[in-house]
Every structure is written in C-alpha cells, then in structure tokens.
Structure 1
Amino acid sequence: MQVRALLVQWPTMPGPVIAQKIGWPYSEGPLKKLLARIRPEYVGIDPSDRTVYEPGEIAQCDLWFPETPIPVAARQVRILPVLVLTLAFSRFLSATMIPSRQGGDILSGMWLLISQLGRVPKTLVWDRESAIGGTGKVSVPAAAFAGTLATRIRLAPPKDPEFKGMVERNNGFFETSFLPGRAFASPADFNSQFTDWLTSRANTRTVRAIHGRPVDLLETDYQAMTVLPAVAPTVGLTHRIRLARDYYVRVDTCDYSVDPRVIGRFVDIVASPTTVEVFCDRQLVARHDRSWAKHLVITDPDHVATARQMRQALAEHHRAQQQAGQRGQRRHSDGHPVAIRALPDYDALFGVDFDPTSPTAADAAEASNP
C-alpha cells in the first residue's frame, strides 16, 4: 500500500528512492518486479505503432560530423560534415563528405548521391538544418531543388530526433564500426574509404528490422522511385559581385583570382565542391580547383601576368600624355593629337575685341544715346 500511495503522487519515482522512503529491508530485486508490474497502472502505457515504409517513398537525410580531423591544405585539418542518405525501405546507405554545411554545398551533395542512385526518392526527410529548413519552412534553394527533381522535402518536427531515427542510428553505427582504427589523408581519401566500406560492409549486412540485406532490396526501391530530371538542378554556392581592383572573389573564406580585364564589371561566381568558376556576361573569366581549407589566397599566374601588362600599358599611356603636355600638345586616350585653336579665333567668333584703342561697349552705348 505504501508503494501504491507513492506512485499515485509520483508515478515515475525511481525504485531506489521508493525503497528508501518506505524503509525497504530486503534486496531490490523483489521491489523491482513489483514496480514493473504495477507502475503502468499509474504511468499509463504509450504504445507505438510500427512504421511501414513503401518502396521508393522515403529517404532520410542528415549531416554527420565525424570527430576525426581531415587534412585539407596548407597544413590545416578540419572537422567536415558528411551528408548521409538512407533509403527507408531497403535501408540502403550512401554518403559523401562535403566542404561546408552551406545550402549550396548540401544540395550539391544530395544531387551527387541521387545521381549515383539513378532514381529520385519521392520524399526527402530532413531535420531543421539551417540551410534546408531552419525557419520551419523549406528554404527557397531547397524548394527549387526539390521542384526540379519532382520530389518533396519534409521537415521533421522540432526537437524530434525519432522522426528520422533511422539515419540517426546509422550515424552512430558509423562512429563505432567505420571510424575506429582509420586515418585519412584528405577528403577524397575519406570518401574513397567510406564508399568502399558502405559497399562491402554496411549495405551487405543483414538488417534485423527488414530480415534482409540492403543491397538485395535496392532494386525494389529503385523501380518505385521517379526518374532523374532531364535538366540538372541548380546546386552549389552562387553569388554576384562587381569585381574590385584587386581582381579576387571570395568563396567560403578563400579568395580566388579573376581575369583583371573585367575589373569594374559584374561577375557571377559558381562554386561546386570541386571547382570555382567565375563568369562575366556568360564568358568564363576564371576557373580554380576549390580549396577546402580556410583563409587561403588562390592565384592563377596568367591573371597576375595580365594585371602586370595592364599596369605597364597604363603607365606608358600616362607617360605619353605627360610628354605631350610638355610639348604643348594634347592627345586623346587613343593617342591621336588634339587640335588646339588660337584664342583670337574664339574672340572673332563671339565678336569680342580686347584692343584698348577700339571703342568699348560702353562707349558704343553712349554714342547711340546722345
């Protein structure tokens, strides 16, 4: 009766606390059995339905941040995100490391994984990742991406990790089964090792929940998905700026050189996880391999040479103008001389006479009004 009286007021009170309050003189085993039997009468039972996934319907997506630092460049190491995609029906896993958690990089990773699958899942489940749906609504770039692929992005409720618990559990599986004992020389090396492990180990193991291997059920998933779009979606980091005099553009903290001949004009920057391209009026004016390091300056020697030639040409132009000025001869910007009229020509044109012996305008006016 004492135990029941406590459970009426505190249904979730731990067993050791109950034993202390009622002065339980025996071992905790009999009390635990008693609590297991009667506690549901006071706490209540919260049954959970079994979720059944149809082929091709859902893929759960998430970012996994392995704690192993990855060498990038210039003696830098970084903790980089890994985009993980899990097909809900077959439990098939695919993943790739991406340079940042910005929206353009996430969408680039999603397009890469979906292209490798060869078909598009009908629903992509995401938590409220800031670049995908941090405001509670799917971001404009993510919505455009989903529209191009004829799929939809479904956001998990706030603070509900169980909504996409499948991919969350897989992240823990990676931590315990893939990372231990491994070292990586670069992001490309990580992706290579991870892809090999997913192919040979993760997707060939028997999953208890489906009583089968993901690789064996993938074909069923594949046939139920939609086909890839005829036109690839817009992915990557994009923005437009007016090119400054130093002819560099910034992408994710790194600066990349651009052809200095387009200084002062608007340029469009398009950055994928592997390349950075810059366009001016749809003409390519720069192309670089993208750096995954931070705060580096990446320079094309041709751009430096062009800038040097432009400075030399400008200096010669200024020198020529200065010499022409010293000779009393002016020149246009293209170099041809500018004709200079004598000042008396303008006096004659406007009827002005500065001869002191000639009658002035005032004298003429006085003569006309005697």
Structure 2
Amino acid sequence: MGRKKAQALREKAILHGWLEPDVVLPDNDALATALEENSQVLIKGSSVAPYADKITKWYEQGIQGTTIHQALVDKYGFTGSYWSVIRYLKALAEKTPVPTTVIEFAPGDAAQVDFGAGPLIVDTRTGELRKSWIFVMTLAWSRHIYAEFIRDQSVATWLACHRRAFEWFNGVPKRVIIDNPKCAITRACYHDPQVQRAYGECAEGYGFLIAPCPVRDPQKKGRVESNVKYIKNSFVPLKEFRSLSDANAQLKSWLLSVAGNRIHGTTKCQPLERFTEIEQALLSPLPEVPPEQAVWAKVKVHGDGHVQFEHCRYSVPYTLIRETLWLKASDTMVRIYQKHELKATHARMHHQGSRATVPEHQPPAAQAYNMQDPQYCLAQAQRIGESCHVFIKRLFASRVLDNLRA
C-alpha cells in the first residue's frame, strides 16, 4: 500500500471516528460497506452534523474553512474544532464531482506557457552540475512547441524566453495563457491579477494579451503541462548534455524532428504540419524592432545619493536622498524615475561593486570640493592675476600635496 492510499484510509477512519479510543471498531462487513461507499458520508456523532446543511451551502459559495468555522462559533456557539470543519469540507470536495470541459482554440488564438523542472546540467564556468528548468510555450491549436532549458525563473529570463519563442514561431499569438509565476504576476487574483510591470510592457510591445489562469486552477493550460511532461519523459532520459547550450541545441533539433512530426494523441495530426500549413500564417507579425526588454525594481536612495541594483550603485540628484524610486534596467541602460519623471540615466554596469556617479547629482559643496584639483586652482589663480598664478604654480612645483596627511 502506498502513502497516498494509506493517508486516504486514515482520513476515512478519522471521519468515521474509528480512531477514537472509546469507539468499538466495526466488523468486516460494516468496514467493507463504509469503504465502498463514498468516504465522505458524515457520521451522526460528528460535531458538525447539526450544521451540515449550512456548511454545505457555504462550501458551494466558495467560502473558506477558517471563515466557516468562525461563523459557526460566532452565530451558533459551535464548540467543535477547526479540523472537524476541514474534514467535512474535504469530504464534500471528494463527494462532489468536478465536471471538465474541453476548451477549443482557433488557429493563432492562444499559446500556453509553463515551467518544469529540468535535468542537472554542467556549468561550464565551474564544472559543477547545476539545476535547470524547462520553459515551454505551446501553440494551443496546432500543439507546436517551443522549449528551452534555463538556469532561473527571473523576470529577465522570462522575457527573453518569450522573445525567443515568438522568433521560433515567427509570429505572436493573440493571447498567452500562463499560470501565476512571480516573474509574471505579482499578485494572483481571480478578478484583478497584478502583472509584473516589465511583462506588461513586453505584452504591449508584442501585442498579445496576458491571460493568467485562475488561482489553483492550472488545468486551464493543460496542453502545455502535458508537453512539459512529454519533454521530461521522452527527451530528457538517457541524454548526455555537455553544457546548457548543448542541451538546448539537442532539444531544438528534437522539437523539429521528433516532437513536431509525431501524431498527436488528440488532433491525430502532426503538430509541425498543422503549424506550417495553417496556424503560422494566422499569428500576428513580429514587430520590426523587438521591444526593449527591461526589468523594473523599486529602489531606495541612500545617504550618499546612490541607489543599488544587482550590487551596483547609480547616482541620482542629491535632493532625492531617502526617496523611493523606480529603476528600469535593460541590458545596456539604467533609467531611474520618480513616479513618471526621469531623474537619471546611466550605462548599465554588470561587475559587482561598480559605481556610476554623475558630478551634477552631488550637492554644491561636494561638486566644488571635487573640482579643486591643481588644474582648477591654477585656472582660478590665473583669473586673479599673474602674481597669484606664479605663486600658486610655485607651490604645486614643490609637490606640497604629497606632504599632506589625512
């Protein structure tokens, strides 16, 4: 007997009260009858029995268990435990069949996206095996697949995968159906999910609609989930990968030669054939210039007038010290905004510990101090007069600065 079945039997025993110390165990016939019938039949001795109709009604309205338990306590003086309510709700969930509907898509209408755990692949920089992930985008009508192995699920990686997927298909679907990964959705909600700002800009640039699945309802993108399993079970086993790039080269070849030309179990057609003959022409064209891919981050201005992003520091006007700003970082540029007003622009730095400072961002006293090098002093002396200039030049000739002590 496996763990799942043992757990299910234990829950049935708890539900029927068989594990209570003063309860006489049923005989074999009664036990068999209880196990054959839907295990969610509520026994008369349960503390929730008098409130079964109310709990069932609330359950059907989608009210959570904690709220139901508190309502029973407040309105009816319920003395049973929270877990007795949860056991009954689990019983209702198992008792109530969940109908499913096959969702049909028109050619070019939608793509479904998902992540899956990938194999351990050698990091060529360190020689160590590192975890990988599989990014998969499936066109919902043709079932044609784009997939690649990646090292992380960051926003930047998510955006880059979308760009490469659209270039693979040479077009953009009208909708991209996703789960609720943090790299795409900052707050999952059935009615009003909050989309990552960078992903929203990506969707606007390519012209597709972001369509998150309802919370805890990933079945809405079952086609891509089945393809994640297909890749993990059919491509990954018995393969040897020398590096991440080698793994992706092998995967792309397999997608075109094997996955694309298989007879799909549902459509009874070859995904690549359906794609090339019908769906590809119905995708929206790629933009002439790929949209800028940039990530957004909230940053705090430190006392030295700099913000920090990925271990690099960038200056902003000193008047913004202690303010919270928005930083937009592409591969080459960093832009810093106060609300919608651009406050600073820098070349993107990638070496940890780097510092970019614009002199005009510093307070006037600091700007004046930084300007007082020998050339500045000589120029000022020249403006005062020839005698002053000769005197200052003589001072610098004696290398007086070298004799200064902190």
Shorter-chain TM band: 0.5 to 0.7
Aligned to 2:111: 59
- Residue 96 of structure 1 deviates from its aligned partner by 2.2
**Which amino acid in 1 is paired with 2:378?**
H
How many angstroms apart in 2 are the aligned matches of 1:102 and 1:234? 17
Aligned to 2:230: 173
Aligned to 1:203: 260
Q: Say if 2:241 is the partner of 1:184.
A: yes
- Residue 129 of structure 1 deviates from its aligned partner by 0.6
**Which amino acid in 2 is paired with 1:185?**
R
Aligned to 1:139: 196
**Which amino acid in 2 is paired with 1:131?**
C
Give the 3 Å change call, closer, same or farther, for CA 108–24 of structure 1 in structure 2.
same
1:338-349 superposed matches below 5 A: 339=385
Q: Say if 2:212 is the partner of 1:160.
A: no
Q: Say if 2:138 is the partner of 1:81.
A: no
How many angstroms apart in 1 are the aligned matches of 2:165 and 2:146? 7
Give the 3 Å change call, closer, same or farther, for CA 197–106 of structure 1 in structure 2.
same
How many angstroms apart in 2 are the aligned matches of 1:139 and 1:184? 33
Give the 3 Å change call, closer, same or farther, for CA 235–81 of structure 1 in structure 2.
farther
1:111-126 superposed matches below 5 A: 111-126=163-178
Q: Note if contact 1:59-1:124 (Cα within 8 Å) is conserved in structure 2.
A: yes
Aligned match of 2:332 in 277, 294, 302?
277
- Residue 335 of structure 1 deviates from its aligned partner by 9.4
How many angstroms apart in 2 are the aligned matches of 1:67 and 1:167? 18
Give the 3 Å change call, closer, same or farther, for CA 109–45 of structure 1 in structure 2.
closer
Aligned to 2:205: 148
Aligned to 2:57: none
> What SS does the aligned partner of 2:292 have?
coil
Aligned to 1:230: 288
Aligned to 1:332: 378
- Residue 192 of structure 1 deviates from its aligned partner by 0.5
Give the 3 Å change call, closer, same or farther, for CA 73–335 of structure 1 in structure 2.
farther
Aligned match of 1:23 in 21, 24, 28?
28
Structure 1, 162-171 or 224-233: larger mean CA deviation: 224-233
Aligned to 2:102: 50
Structure 1, 140-149 or 74-83: larger mean CA deviation: 74-83
> What SS does the aligned partner of 1:75 have?
coil
Give the 3 Å change call, closer, same or farther, for CA 269–175 of structure 1 in structure 2.
same
How many angstroms apart in 1 are the aligned matches of 2:98 and 2:333? 57
> What SS does the aligned partner of 1:130 have?
coil
Residues 24-77 of structure 1, C-alpha deviations (whole Å, 9 max, x = no match): 49xx9xx89x869xx9xx946544222222211110001222132341413344
- Residue 224 of structure 1 deviates from its aligned partner by 2.3
How many angstroms apart in 1 are the aligned matches of 2:119 and 2:101? 35
**Which amino acid in 2 is paired with 1:158?**
V
- Residue 107 of structure 1 deviates from its aligned partner by 0.9
How many angstroms apart in 2 are the aligned matches of 1:59 and 1:215? 15
Give the 3 Å change call, closer, same or farther, for CA 81–237 of structure 1 in structure 2.
farther
How many angstroms apart in 2 are the aligned matches of 1:51 and 1:278? 42
- Residue 108 of structure 1 deviates from its aligned partner by 1.4
Aligned to 2:179: 127
Aligned match of 1:91 in 131, 143, 156?
143
Question: Aligned pair count?
Answer: 275
> What SS does the aligned partner of 1:96 have?
strand
Q: Note if contact 2:316-2:344 (Cα within 8 Å) is conserved in structure 1.
A: no
Q: Note if contact 1:98-1:106 (Cα within 8 Å) is conserved in structure 2.
A: no
**TM-score, normalization by structure 1:** 0.59
> What SS does the aligned partner of 1:170 have?
helix
Q: Which has the larger radius of gyration?
A: 1
% same residue: 19
Give the 3 Å change call, closer, same or farther, for CA 21–59 of structure 1 in structure 2.
farther
> What SS does the aligned partner of 1:227 have?
coil
Aligned match of 2:155 in 83, 100, 103?
103
- Residue segments in structure 2 that go unaligned for 5+ positions in a row: 1-8, 19-24, 42-93, 318-326, 336-342, 355-371, 389-406
Give the 3 Å change call, closer, same or farther, for CA 48–185 of structure 1 in structure 2.
same
How many angstroms apart in 2 are the aligned matches of 1:99 and 1:44? 41
How many angstroms apart in 2 are the aligned matches of 1:99 and 1:270? 20
CA root-mean-square deviation? 4.8
- Residue 22 of structure 1 deviates from its aligned partner by 5.5
- Residue 191 of structure 1 deviates from its aligned partner by 1.0
How many angstroms apart in 1 are the aligned matches of 2:227 and 2:297? 35
- Residue segments in structure 1 that go unaligned for 5+ positions in a row: 1-9, 257-262, 289-295, 300-316, 322-329, 343-370
> What SS does the aligned partner of 1:208 have?
coil
Residues 170-196 of structure 1, C-alpha deviations (whole Å, 9 max, x = no match): 212222111112232222112101111
Give the 3 Å change call, closer, same or farther, for CA 130–336 of structure 1 in structure 2.
same
How many angstroms apart in 2 are the aligned matches of 1:50 and 1:178? 27
